[in-house]
Amino acid sequence: MGFPKEYQFLSELGLGPRNPGCYANGTWRGDGPVVGSYNPANNHRIAEVVEASIQDYEDGMQACTEAAKIWMQVPAPKRGEIVRQIGDALRTKLQQLGRLVSLEMGKILAEGIGEVQEIIDMCDYVVGLSRQLNGSIIPSERPNHMMMEVWNPLGIVGVITAFNFPCAVLGWNACVALVCGNCVVWKGAPTTPLVTIATTEIIAQVLEKNNLPGAIFTSFCGGSEIGEAIARDKRIPLVSFTGSTKVGLMVQQTVNQRFGKCLLELSGNNAIIVMDDADIQLAVRSVLFAAVGTAGQRCTTCRRLLLHESIYQVFLDQLTAVYKQVKIGDPLEKGTLMGPLHTAASKQHFASSIEVIKSQGGKILVGGAAVNSDGNYVQPTIVEISSSAPIVREELFGPVLYVMKFQTLREAIEINNAVPQGLSSSIFTRKPELIFQWIGPHGSDCGIVNVNIPTNGAEIGGAFGGEKATGGGREAGSDSWKQYMRRSTCTINYGKELPLAQGINFG
């Protein structure tokens, strides 16, 4: 039995009504529980997936360990060529894979396609990087000595991704890890298994075409038991985890116990500050995209809006007007600006959170209710609330925007920095002195500090990540590649004497 008409495009991605969810040692298998993949727009089942068992995991890891010995010996520019081919393969499936992201995750089609484009962009980026994994030559204080830094692969990188970006975050990690000479072990989100399978199949075909071991890229659909196995596995020197702060802390503790390395991308509680000299229309458009995009389910979603008292009401009037025009509906339909939340549980959490907000003095200005439908739809919501309300310190993973008033930039910065999270932040102003205060040592304490753009929509060329409870990890561009390699400081004595450092004379 095949797919119904609206799901026919899934066949072009190699998917069927029932799919093995483990790619290990170059073959598809699955000996774990059978789970369903659901369309959040109507909660109908799309297809079934047979998840990986712990035995599948162990078999996959044994093969991956052997493949790592081969892959790290391939010259870095040749590894870059393989990733270039992965990018080209993704280009041929851009529309289909982007449509699947929208169907299974719930983000609108433009965002789904944009997510796949992000992996393609990462592939392009690391092709150049494969010829620039440079070390340093360091002056030695000793005659006839040379010091240098040598960068070598770690071996295997584990990547655990979340539902909100079911394939882009893989790209941030896997593209860099592969050109650095590492094999990749990927556990996708349990609720987006079809994206995991389809993305893996595209990568697997490139490896096969180049007569490379399929185990260079190993992937598992599964639940927490697979994630825990990755965190505990001493064969995986680096684990990259994207998800909640609560789970990320547990992953970090487990990995640290075996002296592994962790790259954490956790919760965000991001603020936009609008100063009295800001371009109001530009800021309104930015806040709309930052707060409503992906139905508020980005880690970089704007959750707090800080408005200067002199423009407070003018700005709020314009923002509430555009909020009321947001088209909510099927993410695959043209004109939809906000799709559903990812799961029915998220919809229930939204409703209960609104009650908590009201109990803490929050005043609902727009929205504030779930939409009565078969899908997981809710209304984009604006809440007037005090910055001291306890719920403002939490990451509510939905389209809820808290609005607050301030008098001075210093006050706004203190509010911005007062939450446990430290991912992204933005200010809207044209005054250079305010801009440089904002990005300076006494400004925003976030890893991403923007001016006159939203909190979300980061470019791949910069390092992505945050401080405090966001985890401190960095992915994608800049020098993030260094996390995926092992640094050795190498000193070579090419003379006949043995001078010691610091002028020590040892007899």
Full DSSP string of 234-288: TT-SEEEEES-HHHHHHHHHHHHHTT-EEEEE----EEEEE-TTS-HHHHHHHHH
The answer to whether 175 touches 90, Cβ cutoff 8 Å, is no
Cα–Cα distance measured from residue 446 to residue 170, given in angstroms and rounded to the nearest whole number: 23
Q: What is the pLDDT of residue 2?
A: 78
Cα–Cα distance measured from residue 349 to residue 94, given in angstroms and rounded to the nearest whole number: 33
Would residue 355 show up in a list of annotated catalytic residues for this protein? no
Among 345, 61, 26, 14, residue whose Cα is nearest residue 195: 14
| Catalytic residue (one of 265, 355, 459, 467) | 265
Catalogue the E-assigned strands of 344-436.
363-366, 381-384, 400-406, 421-422, 424-428
Nearest 5 degrees, angle CA 393-CA 396-CA 399?
Answer: 125
Query: How many other C-beta atoms are found inside a 10 Å radius of the C-beta of residue 319?
Result: 25
Q: What are residue 37's phi and psi, to 5 degrees? A: -105, 130
Cα–Cα distance measured from residue 18 to residue 233, given in angstroms and rounded to the nearest whole number: 30
Q: What is the pLDDT of residue 152?
A: 98
Taking phi over 0 as left and psi of -120 to 50 as alpha, with beta for the rest, 50 belongs to: beta
What's the topology of domain 14-36+43-266+471-488?
Aldehyde Dehydrogenase; Chain A, domain 1 (3.40.605)
Eight-state DSSP code of residue 295: G
Helix ranges (H only) for 10-75 are: 54-71
40 membership: H or E segment, kind and range: none
Helix ranges (H only) for 403-450 are: 409-417, 432-439
Instruction: Kindly tell me the number of DSSP H helices and DSSP E strands found in the chain.
Output: 13, 24
Contacts 24+ apart (CB under 8 A), 35-40: 35/190, 35/193, 35/221, 37/104, 37/191, 37/192, 37/193, 37/194, 38/104, 38/191, 38/343, 39/103, 39/104, 40/105, 40/106, 40/339, 40/340, 40/341, 40/342, 40/343, 40/375, 40/376
Q: From first to last of its 507 residues, what are the pLDDT tens digits of the chain? A: 578 888 999 999 999 999 999 999 999 999 999 999 999 999 999 999 999 999 999 999 999 999 999 999 999 999 999 999 999 999 999 999 999 999 999 999 999 999 999 999 999 999 999 999 999 999 999 999 999 999 999 999 999 999 999 999 999 999 999 999 999 999 999 999 999 999 999 999 999 999 999 999 999 999 999 999 999 999 999 999 999 999 999 999 999 999 999 999 999 999 999 999 999 999 999 999 999 999 999 999 999 999 999 999 999 999 999 999 999 999 999 999 999 999 999 999 999 999 999 999 999 999 999 999 999 999 999 999 999 999 999 999 999 999 999 999 999 999 999 999 999 999 999 999 999 999 999 999 999 999 999 999 999 999 999 999 999 999 999 999 999 999 999 999 999 999 998 888 887
Cα–Cα distance measured from residue 20 to residue 504, given in angstroms and rounded to the nearest whole number: 63
Same fold for the pair 14-36+43-266+471-488 and 270-459: no
Cα–Cα distance measured from residue 82 to residue 80, given in angstroms and rounded to the nearest whole number: 5
What's the topology of domain 270-459?
Aldehyde Dehydrogenase; Chain A, domain 2 (3.40.309)
Report domain extents, the chain: 14-36+43-266+471-488, 270-459
Q: Which residues contact 16 (CB under 8 A, 6 or more apart)?
A: 2, 3, 10, 47
Contacts 24+ apart (CB under 8 A), 138-143: 138/489, 140/491, 141/501, 142/493, 142/499, 142/500, 142/501, 143/495, 143/497, 143/499
Query: How many other C-beta atoms are found inside a 10 Å radius of the C-beta of residue 213?
Result: 20
Tens of pLDDT along 283-297? 999 999 999 999 999
Among 185, 161, 194, 193, residue whose Cα is nearest residue 13: 194
Cα–Cα distance measured from residue 251 to residue 241, given in angstroms and rounded to the nearest whole number: 8
Parallel, antiparallel, or unpaired for β 463-464 and 270-274? unpaired
Taking phi over 0 as left and psi of -120 to 50 as alpha, with beta for the rest, 229 belongs to: alpha
Cα–Cα distance measured from residue 86 to residue 94, given in angstroms and rounded to the nearest whole number: 12
Query: How many other C-beta atoms are found inside a 10 Å radius of the C-beta of residue 234?
Result: 9
Q: What is the pLDDT of residue 1?
A: 59
Structure tokens, 101: 């992201």
Q: What is the pLDDT of residue 505?
A: 86
Question: Which residues does residue 463 pair with via DSSP β-bridges, in sequence order?
Answer: 476
Tens of pLDDT along 480-493? 999 999 999 999 99
Structure tokens, 19: 């799919």
Maximum separation of any 2 CA atoms in the chain, in Å: 85
